Chain A
């Protein structure tokens, strides 16, 4: 390969990330940035029970009369059309898969999460950027690139990681919903031609990613092999201990409707 010195200089100037690792400037949490609201996210493998847990958390916070908003991964009505077309017709590459989910997240972030957090809401997210960090990296996108793209959004104030053994998660999914979709099973990674085998291997790789992120991002690990009630009790205790819930009431004098 022949590259002139000038070209190298130019590229280094324009795209410093290419040659040097970017300065690891930690993304801040909403609380650290002075948002009055708090964002609580749940992460974990499919079948780890995280959606049940965040639903129960939401019911509890609502019953306390607090300002709560719930948002799900991949649910922006604007972007959904394109995503489902891309998935159905298997048009997505690792890069476009990553970008289209980032678009979905950006839409929810800019139109709902950020304004509600500024208005002092408790925002509950079923999956956050960590899902993208894990999935996109497993699909081969560079980690710095993926994290860079999501860097417009602060980190959650609390992240619950529902840690189940791979076998438990697999069983829960494979028992209940035997028809696996192409991307869900990670078929695009060509790990195996058998969707079930592919799903197992894909989930295994995702779990490795989650475990690696757990300490880096201070995930609150919940033993997802425990009964639902036991997990929920831990979740509620942790939320009560770390968030001044009394400040999030609907009739709070400073609340913004």
Chain B
């Protein structure tokens, strides 16, 4: 007898997030109305190799299964300057202030053309890094903290910021497992910490992690232990996002 396998249809109630009072970190963008942003802005921060992209990919799948539409943003993805920024970085020809402002332009373009319209349309906006990485990179390179704060006063405060914390020794292992070489910028080679790339990577990542901890004290990140399994980390992220969606 051929009985068709019965599939259990589970339906959970889809939560539609409600617009809440929003604010920019500083003076914000000219002419932007913040009153009707129904979507949620969720930021995942962390070093290369901390599992950001893997986690975001899983979150997208999960959110879509739950009935939410998503859109993703990340560094160096703007229509305006991403190509030029990439080119300039390849040649390592930009000085600190220039590079910093180039990244800020890239960020502002995505904020205005993807993040804000996305939130207005009620989407879940997932940001693979946000202003914090940019601020930390600038500050590690000796830029004035007040200058950096003023610059990123244009940024919208997210609904949640998760920092995937992985010690630099573990990052090296993960990076080598993936591509057997260290990235010039992720090793902070432009800082001249050490001529040895391996040393420089460890020192640089430690400096970055230290700065992130300083920012965490005032920016209210959720620090997520990124050393655990992909599943374990994702479970924690889902729980936390769930409570954001429920407006907790």
Contact = CB atoms under 8 A, between A and B. Distances in A.
Interface residues of B, number: 41
A82 to B, nearest CB: 4
Contacts of B224: none
Is chain A's interface secondary structure helix, strand, loop, or mixed overall? Answer: helix
Contact of A15 (B20, B25, B88): B25
Interface stretch (A107-115, A214-222, A240-248): A107-115
Contacts of A111: 95, 98
B4 interface: no
Interface stretch (B6-14, B47-55, B144-152, B235-243): B144-152
B88 A96 contact: no
Contacts of A3: 21, 23
Given A2-B21, A82-B80, A109-B97, A145 B27 contact: yes
B154 interface: yes
A10 interface: yes
B229 to A, nearest CB: 33
Given A18-B27, A92-B80, A110 B21 contact: no
Contact of A78 (B83, B84, B112): B84
B147 A106 contact: no
A140 B30 contact: yes
A106 B101 contact: yes
Interface string B16-31: 0000110111110111
Interface string A139-176: 11110110011011000000000000000000000000
A60 interface: no
Contacts, number: 120
A149 B101 contact: yes
Given A95-B108, A110-B98, 17 more contacts: A1-B21, A2-B20, A2-B21, A3-B21, A17-B149, A18-B26, A81-B84, A93-B108, A99-B108, A102-B101, A107-B95, A110-B96, A111-B95, A145-B154, A148-B151, A149-B101, A152-B147
Contacts of A102: 101
Interface of B: 20-21, 23-27, 29-31, 79-81, 83-84, 88, 93-98, 100-102, 104-105, 108-109, 112, 144, 146-147, 149-151, 153-154, 218-220
A85 B27 contact: no
Closest 4 CB pairs of A and B: A110-B95, A140-B30, A148-B150, A103-B101
B109 A96 contact: yes
Contact of A95 (B30, B79, B84): B30
Nearest to A89: B79
A151 B97 CA distance: 11
7 contacts: A11-B23, A81-B84, A93-B108, A100-B80, A103-B101, A144-B150, A148-B146
Interface residues of A, number: 43
A103 B109 CA distance: 14
Contact of A142 (B30, B96, B102, B104): B30
B23 to A, nearest CB: 7
A220 to B, nearest CB: 28
Given A148-B147, A152-B147, A13 B218 contact: yes
Nearest to B105: A99
A133 B109 CA distance: 20
A79 B150 contact: no
Nearest to B143: A152
A94 interface: yes
Contacts of A94: 30-31
B154 A95 contact: yes
Contacts of B97: 106, 109-110, 152
Given A107-B94, A149-B151, A99 B27 contact: no
Nearest to B153: A15
A14 interface: yes
